[in-house]
Amino acid sequence: MSSALHIATRKGLFRLDRSANGWDISRHDFVGENTSMVLHDSRDGKTYAALNHGHFGVKLHRSTDGDENWEECAVPVYPEGATKGAGPFSTDGEPKPASLSEIWALEAGGADQPGRLWCGTIPGGLFRSDDCGSSWQLVESLWDLPERQGWFGGGKDDPGIHSICVHPENSQRVAIGISCGGVWVTDNDGASWTCKADGMYAEYTPPDQAKNPNIQDVHRLVQSPSRPETYWVQHHNGVFRTTDGASSWQEVTGIQPAKFGFAVAVHPRQPDTAWFVPGVKDECRVPVDGEFVVARTIDGGVTSEVLTNGLPGKQSFDIVYRHALDIDETGDVLAVGSTTGNLWISENGGDAWQAISNYLPPVYCVRFVKS
């Protein structure tokens, strides 16, 4: 069972450790700084924290000693002259210079790729590092795709890559999720890419564009560790699942009390078990009836349970962002952090929850330190 948890927030990076007395905050680093992403790399024990200074830009820090000390390392840099495309909401139709505005995804490469990190950014870049973040290279095979011009922002002004799934048994296969640009998959370590969002549909576009895989607003993409052909997606207007390696997607309609949300987590050994944090809908991003709940399905999304034990009742208006729901390697321990600064942990798969703090800054990401 994981005994440590990182929480990236609007006001810094927190670390929780579990003792005999339960979970408690043990560290607060980068106090006051907007921390958009955190990664603990179980391969070598390094921790990475992405900061987004309001004035001074995006920075990446690295710790090699269990979060005791941090050093600034490199951040992804777009090539000189790179443009982010005009996009459908451009005011003058002209492409704009691509400049790093956020690190939205950070993942470790495969066990056979020491030092490899993948980084998803806004505006819509995928970068890789083979030296633990000391340098980064833009994955030009993805950046140069003409389809990228069709991506657009979802929740952010520009499109962004927020999900990166490295196949647990074949590190050459990587799937990424984009808001709004669907799911793209490489089978050759990033040399070439295929859009694999067939079966998804978008309620927010003109009808003739609804099934275009390249404009799907994937809010979050996760991969089953035990059956890697299964991926789950929390999408802007629903939940989708594939069991054939993203070749085809089926809508899941059994998630209650609503199909809208940002986060999804999948059980480490049970590919048909997943958790969600529903909200009313796009236009009204609050819990249904003002009651914050977590939904769990154990049958591939045919049915779901609404988990409430230990969670607030009425008059709660927490929303959980894409990366603010995580599960540990046992499948028993879940953590969920909200925009209202609440953090809950369950140690029995969501049957019961404990509020760890009600006073955190807005939570962007929670991640267990996994072995």
Partner 1 sequence: MVRVCFTANLQRHLDCSEATVSGATVRDALDAVFETQQQLKSYVLDDQNRLRQHMVIFIDGKTIVDRVHLSDAISPDSEIYVMQALSGG
The site for partner 1 (CB under 8 A) is made up of 53-57, 59, 72, 75, 77-78, 80, 97-100
Which of 45/57 has CB closer to partner 1?
Answer: 57
> Closest Cα partner for 116 from 192, 51, 48?
48
Q: Which is nearer to partner 1, 136 or 262 (by Cβ)?
A: 136
- Residue in 184, 222, 220, 180 with CA at minimum distance from that of residue 201: 180
Backbone angles phi, psi at 322, to 5 degrees: -50, -45
Neighbours of 314 (CB within 10 A): 9
**Which of residues 34 and 297 has its CB atom nearest to partner 1 in the complex?**
34
Q: Using alpha carbons, select from 49, 53, 56 the residue that is nearest to residue 15.
A: 49
Q: How far is the CB of 254 from partner 1 (least distance, A)?
A: 43
The DSSP code for 300 is: T
For the bound state, the minimum distance from the C-beta of residue 33 to partner 1, rounded and expressed in Å, comes to 9
Query: Measured from the CB of residue 128, what is the shortest distance to partner 1 in angstroms?
Result: 17
Minimum CB distance to partner 1, residue 359 (Å): 21
For residue 61, the minimal CB distance to partner 1 (Å) is 10
CB burial readout 324-358, b (16+ within 10 A) else e: bbbbbeebbbbbbbbbbbbbbbbbebbeebeebbe
CB of 67 to partner 1, least distance (A): 18
Q: Which two tokens stand for residue 130?
A: 């083979």
Q: Which is nearer to partner 1, 77 or 286 (CB)?
A: 77
- What single-letter amino acid sits at 246? A
Task: Give whichever of 81 and 206 is closer to partner 1, judged by the CB atom.
Answer: 81
* CB of residue 190 to partner 1, shortest distance in Å: 21
For residue 257 the two structure tokens come to 């009390």
Task: State the minimum distance, in angstroms, from the CB of residue 97 to partner 1.
Answer: 5
Measured CA to CA in angstroms, residue 69 lies from 13, 61, 74, 319 at distances of: 13, 10, 17, 32
The Cα 313–Cα 366 span in angstroms is: 23
Which DSSP symbol is given to 362? P
> What is the nearest approach in angstroms of partner 1 to the Cβ of residue 100?
6
What CA–CA distance (Å, rounded) separates 25 from 54?
26
Tell me whether residue 54 or residue 93 sits nearer to partner 1 (CB atom): 54
Q: Toward partner 1, which CB reaches closer, 123 or 268?
A: 123
| Rounded Cα–Cα distance for residues 233 and 240 (Å) | 5
SS3 of residue 214 by DSSP: helix
CA distances from 10 to 13, 58, 233, 269 (A): 9, 14, 25, 33
The answer to whether the beta carbons of residues 261 and 277 sit under 8 Å apart is yes
Q: Which run of H or of E encompasses 142?
A: helix 140-143
Other CB atoms within 10 A of residue 64 CB:
14
